[in-house]
A = this chain, B = another copy of it.
Amino acid sequence: MNGEERKGLSSQSPDEAEDKEKDQRTVTVNPSHMGKAFKVMNELRSKRLLCDVVIVAEAIEMEAHRVVLAACSPYFCAMFTGDMTERKAKKIEIKDVDGQTLSKLIDYIYTAEIEVTEENVQVLLPAASLLQLMDVRQNCCDFLQSQLHPTNCLGIRAFADVHTCTELLQQANAYAEQHFPEVMLGEEFLNLSLDQVCSLISSDKLTVSSEEKVFEAVISWINYEKESRLEHMAELMEHVRLPLLPRDYLVQTVEEEALIKNNNTCKDFLIEAMKYHLLPLDQRQLIKNPRTKPRTPVSLPKVS
């Protein structure tokens, strides 16, 4: 096309054209461009074309493109562009991740798709953390959150703690507190450590219809491994709010419990609770300690 024809595209006089030019600038974004490109990159990978690195985990070897791995994973980016010895290596072994999981994560890098299942979530999350695939890590957390149940919330809480998944940790913890009457019946509860039990039952947010549940939980936990746990009775009872128990339960059940009778400190807690019940209402309010403070679960409004 010659100059004359080029000029012909403008239907305005030169001055008008100049004024209008800014308005007519059309920056177009093609929304399907990147999706199509990744599809081709994945095809190139499956045909082993233009690959420049082999990723190895266990017995599985996967060819891939450094720039794609680096673009999606800060871990690979640091490896390929930093001062690490792997920078120029043709073959790179990833330890601490099994082959199948690494294969899934490299598939993810090329497809943006990940299948999170009950079976893989617990190996996927740490592997995604290692490769700094934060979206996958979040997908795993979301999946675990959706799976929260009285029988698994303490396990998920511990898992979240180990892998520093702050939000999931809070969610699992809140779930355990809100479903304490069911949670305390499960094996996960009975297998908690002393500190974990103390932390749980000392929470103001524990949702229980009556403090009886907390007392029963302590007795169950001790009895589950009585010999070794007996010595912790006093430490635990410190967090059971005996003064808040119904008078009948205090006299008939707590007082009768051998674990209480045989422990000097526990007897002090019993006496404290009995005294609380024997005082007139106006004087009860003067006894301020953690055991006389009503719990304030999230689902119930606090009545002061």
Contact = CB atoms under 8 A, between A and B. Distances in A.
Interface of A: 1, 5-6, 8-11, 17, 21, 24-38, 40-41, 44, 49-50, 52, 65-68, 70-72, 77, 80-81, 109, 112-119, 121-122, 135-136, 139, 142-144, 147, 149-152, 154-156, 158-159, 162, 187-188
Contacts of A122: 1, 6, 9
Given A34-B38, A49-B81, A122-B9, A113 B67 contact: no
A155 B8 contact: yes
- Binding site of A, secondary structure by majority: helix, strand, loop or mixed? helix
A29 B112 contact: yes
Q: How many copies does the complex hold?
A: 2
B37 A50 contact: no
Nearest to A117: B25
A67 B38 contact: no
A156 B40 contact: no
A188 B5 CA distance: 8
A67 B81 contact: no
Closest 4 A/B residue pairs (Cβ): A11-B149, A33-B112, A8-B155, A40-B71
Given A21-B118, A31-B112, A34-B35, 17 more contacts: A1-B122, A1-B162, A8-B187, A9-B144, A9-B152, A9-B155, A11-B152, A24-B118, A26-B139, A28-B113, A28-B116, A28-B142, A34-B34, A34-B112, A44-B81, A49-B70, A50-B66
Contacts of A135: 30, 32-33
A81 B136 CA distance: 32
